[in-house]
Amino acid sequence: MIPEAGAARIAMRRADGPEAGKRKSGALGRDISADLETQIVEGRLSPGAKLDEVALGNHYSVSRTPVREALRALAAKGLVEFQPRIGAIVARPTVGEVMDLFEVVAEMEGVAARLACERMEADDKARIVEAYEACQKAASAFDPEEYFSTNGDFHSSIQQASHNSMLIEQIEHLNKRLSPYRRFITFRPGRTQTAMKEHEAVFEALLRGDGETASTSMRSHVRVLAEDSLALSKSLRF
């Protein structure tokens, strides 16, 4: 479930005595939380997967205390939820909740695109161009994993060009919750080709400095993902 390298690194931070354990418990919890978050965001821990405290403690060679701290931290981010008689599981939102999240992200990314038009500097523009071209290359090569990665870079480059740290932070937070579903939708047959046409509209508006069109195109692009989320109904609870 968890990469051995991550588990080994965390095990090396274990305290040798009870007092040291109290001091290091918070650090261990943060490490475990970071590892689990990576697994969830990358889709290696699927929505609904059980997160057993004992099993995780054994895997990381730690007590249950830092594991509980990690799970609580992930729950605060919306990545984990606690269910009666079951315990902690990877968050499994309803279709409606996923659609709501996509709609909110669509509006926020639209704002980011508009601000990028107003505020981007030469290095921001260069990163956007580089990310767009990498995305095109991955799409042409029919490499879904590489496309998923470069697609994220393209969106991120636009957000960074907005130079609004609070907006960037909120988009990143919501995108972590949506990442497994973005991956599912991105890998649907034909979606990559359609998305590249949508990217082109955003990209060209950015180069022209047309904030209104960039914003509208970005909102439409992400809203399509909200509509596609209906296809997730078989894997989500209602």
Cβ neighbours, 10 Å, residue 139: 19
Domain residues for the domain of 86 are 4-90
For 81-135, the DSSP string reads EEETTTEEEE----HHHHHHHHHHHHHHHHHHHHHHHHH--HHHHHHHHHHHHHH
Which of 69, 90, 111 is the last residue in one of the domains?
90
Task: Name 182's Cβ contacts closer than 8 Å, sequence gap at least 6.
Answer: 148, 175, 225
Task: Name 5's Cβ contacts closer than 8 Å, sequence gap at least 6.
Answer: none
Q: pTM for the whole thing?
A: 0.80
Are residue 142 and residue 202 in the same domain, yes or no?
yes
Are residue 140 and residue 195 in the same domain, yes or no?
yes
pLDDT digit string, tens, across residues 114-166: 999 999 999 999 999 999 999 999 999 988 889 999 999 999 999 999 999 99
What type of residue is 211? G
* pLDDT confidence of residue 185: 78
Residue with tokens 């080994």: 8
Are residue 60 and residue 110 in the same domain, yes or no?
no
More confident call, 132 vs 93: 132
Report yes or no: 215 and 111 within 8 Å, Cβ to Cβ. yes
Residue 192 maps to a domain? yes
* pLDDT confidence of residue 88: 96
What total number of domains does the chain contain?
Answer: 2
